[in-house]
Amino acid sequence: MTESYSLPDLLEAAAEVRKQAYAKFSHYKVGAALLAKDGTIFSGCNVENSSFGLTICAERSAVTAAVAAGRQTFQALALVTEKQGAPCGACRQVLAEFCGDEFPIHFAAAEDLGDIKTSTLGELLPDAFRF
């Protein structure tokens, strides 16, 4: 991406929204901060449901908020979890709807936002299904 952004600010936004996660069943809270091309940050957290298939991940929550606000082009995604987890397969596919293979995804553990892993969407989802 040619746009610049503050990774610490993006990670902090993900860490803040993670506090709002509703993880009654897994107890695994996730916060996501999705940076739109215009610089707006859209946050999302996981919201679990007793009917597990209805659970929504933080990443998809952030994408949905962005699309609802009229944004469909993005610069980067930051995730904060307990154990520095990467997006699940469903979230990777949703991101592929809006982002290219070079889209950066940064993930950190809540206890240490300075220890950052970075991957591209293409590395996490090779040969993504796209129309």
Residue 126 buriedness (CB in 10 A; 0-12 / 13-18 / 19+) = exposed
Residue 47 buriedness (CB in 10 A; 0-12 / 13-18 / 19+) = middle
From the candidates 3, 12, 16, 59, give the one annotated as an active-site residue. Answer: 59
Q: Is 102 labeled as catalytic in the residue annotation? A: no
Instruction: List, by residue number, the catalytic residues.
Output: 59
